[in-house]
Amino acid sequence: MLPQRLIIIFITLFSLFHHLATAIPTSTCEFTFLDGNKLYNYTISSPIRNFPHGILSEDGFYKVTANETTVWFQLCDEMIFNHDPPTCADCWDCGGPKRCGMECNALVATNVGGYHVCTTIGHGPKIDVDVIDKKNPHTGIIVKMFSSGPKFNCSLAVSVLCNLNGVQGPHTLERLGACDYATELKHPAGCAIIVNVHGGGWGWFATLLIIVLCLFAAYLLAGIVYRFFFLGVRGIDVIPNLDFWVSLPRRAQSLCASLVRKFRGPSQGYRSSYSPVNF
């Protein structure tokens, strides 16, 4: 069991280092983008100054209307309607007529023959997050929501532009296909938290440390595999040079004590062979 666990840990660490080199969504509505020496962190669902709910609308939904088409959406969560709920002839895939819009995160209503027909365009965890412009990550991010149905595969793309002054929009709605829509809003949550990953001379040291740790992990893994499968060693003794690793704390303690004596000089109770003696 021990070699198997170590192999799993090694593979997990290797995958983590590999994925850090590219832009990856860390979880729903959180995104990390590495650009050279700068790490851009977007956590649009987390509380920020003056916006304790992050990107979430305090009304429970955002609403935008254009050309007799209305879209309701809530980024990072399902919608909640305490006022102005959608009135649709058909809303079975998003809560039904009595709870229309309450079981999805994006809904579009189109006027057909005097009736509003609703279609879900964002449902559940089907959310993708990416930066709008990789050459200029300060612009903001784009959140895409999807929904698959018997008639259409629908989507909604919401561009969250960085704006430190407050929330603006959404005001415009664009139809990109049979059931694909796009809109935008300005929000402080679209501004990234920037971390200088190689600043202050730490970059080369971090790289060297990672290389040393990877080499050490490879050495341990190779030694464990060899001793386990070829030498038949079991238990904790499967770790190569176990006696050396166990003795490291004692050696480190002795080294530290030696250095302390060297820099502090002889203690009061210490007397060299040349010390004077009072008779």
Q: Kindly report, residue by residue over 186-216, the tens digit of the pLDDT.
A: 988 888 888 776 555 556 677 788 888 899 8
**Residues 157-167, mean pLDDT to the nearest whole number:** 88
Given this model, what pLDDT does residue 183 score? 92
Q: Which of 47-51, 101-105, 134-138, 157-161 is the most confident on average?
A: 157-161
Better-scored residue on pLDDT, 137 or 11: 137
Given this model, what pLDDT does residue 23 score? 43
**Pairing of β 38-43 and β 24-27:** unpaired
Contacts with 117 (C-beta within 8 Å, 6 or more apart), sequence order: 88, 89, 90, 109, 110
At the top level of CATH, the class of 28-195 is mainly beta
Indicate the average pLDDT of the chain. 77
pTM: 0.58
Is 10 a residue whose pLDDT tops 50?
no
The domain spans of the chain are: 28-195, 201-264
Q: How confident is the model at residue 16 (pLDDT cuts 50, 70, 90)?
A: very low
Closest CA to 51 of 190, 159, 184: 190
Q: Are 122 and 155 in contact (CB under 8 A)?
A: yes
In tens, the pLDDT along 64-109 reads: 988 888 898 988 888 888 888 887 777 777 888 778 888 888 888 8
